[in-house]
């Protein structure tokens, strides 16, 4: 299972200014809905200082706020024009910014996971709030 494609979405958590990430594409920077909605590039706090991040998902709407600054405020269904997979059944999806299929993008239930690339990440005070079926 690949969270970026099989799950509802993957929101990037990484130091996009680190030399190892010098060649990231716009949809890969911190806070981006990977391959679907690019985030506004932020300046991170110095290494070792805690940041805050809120990821709010209501239906197809997603909002990512880092240290009080909104860096993503979008709708995943609109971002891909309703095509989470290529209309022709192929592997190349012209409607996503990474041109890949995201078959799980419209999932409404599933798991929350924190995935990493191995260089280390510390997370504290995680809170999950069920927003229920707002209508």
Give the span between the Cα atoms of 108 and 26, in whole angstroms: 26
50-75 residue pLDDT tens: 999 999 999 999 999 999 999 999 99
pLDDT per 10-residue tile (average), the chain, 135 residues: 84 90 93 96 91 95 97 98 97 97 93 78 91 69
* Of 25, 5, 35, 23, the residue nearest 98 (C-alpha): 35
What is 64-80 written as a DSSP string?
Answer: EEETTEEEEEEEHHHHT
pLDDT at residue 134 in the model: 59
Give the span between the Cα atoms of 82 and 17, in whole angstroms: 32
């Amino acid at each position: 299972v690949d969270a970026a494609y099989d799950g509802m979405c993957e929101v990037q958590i990484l130091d996009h200014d680190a030399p190892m990430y010098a060649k990231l594409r716009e949809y890969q920077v911190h806070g981006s809905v990977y391959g679907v909605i690019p985030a506004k590039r932020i300046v991170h706090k110095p290494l070792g200082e805690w940041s805050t991040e809120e990821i709010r998902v209501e239906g197809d709407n997603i909002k990512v706020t880092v240290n009080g600054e909104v860096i993503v405020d979008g709708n995943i269904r609109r971002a891909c024009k309703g095509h989470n997979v290529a209309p022709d059944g192929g592997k190349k999806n012209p409607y996503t910014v990474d041109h890949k299929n995201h078959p799980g993008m419209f999932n409404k239930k599933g798991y929350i996971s924190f995935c990493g690339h191995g260089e280390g990440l510390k997370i504290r005070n995680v809170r999950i709030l069920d927003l229920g079926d707002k209508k």
